[in-house]
């Protein structure tokens, strides 16, 4: 069981035991790849006429709608 911080001024935290460790050279390569990908995404705006399946929209939105609805209901209680 991970040890939690008991310092009253510090929030409780649990170490991330599932974190992957990469060699430094591989981390640098991955960081460069990510930066290149982010730059491409930021510079290119493509609007498609292709329809998005409704189940994909629901998978993205429904959990957030439920969360907001529950928060709204809870505020009345």
Asked whether the beta carbons of 6 and 16 are under 8 A apart, the reply is: no
Q: What is the pLDDT of residues 45-69, one digit of tens each?
A: 677 888 989 888 888 888 777 777 7
Give pLDDT, residue 20: 86
Q: What does each C-alpha distance from 44 to 39, 40, 41, 49, 66 come to in angstroms?
A: 9, 6, 6, 16, 33
Distance CA 65, CA 72 (A): 10
């Amino acid at each position: 069981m991970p040890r939690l911080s008991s310092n009253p001024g510090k929030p409780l935290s649990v170490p991330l035991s599932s974190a992957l460790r990469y060699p430094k050279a591989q981390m640098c390569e991955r960081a460069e790849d990510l930066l290149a990908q982010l730059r491409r995404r930021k510079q290119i705006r493509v609007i498609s006429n292709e329809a998005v399946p409704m189940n994909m929209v629901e998978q993205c939105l429904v959990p957030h709608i439920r969360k907001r609805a529950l928060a709204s209901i809870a505020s009345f209680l």
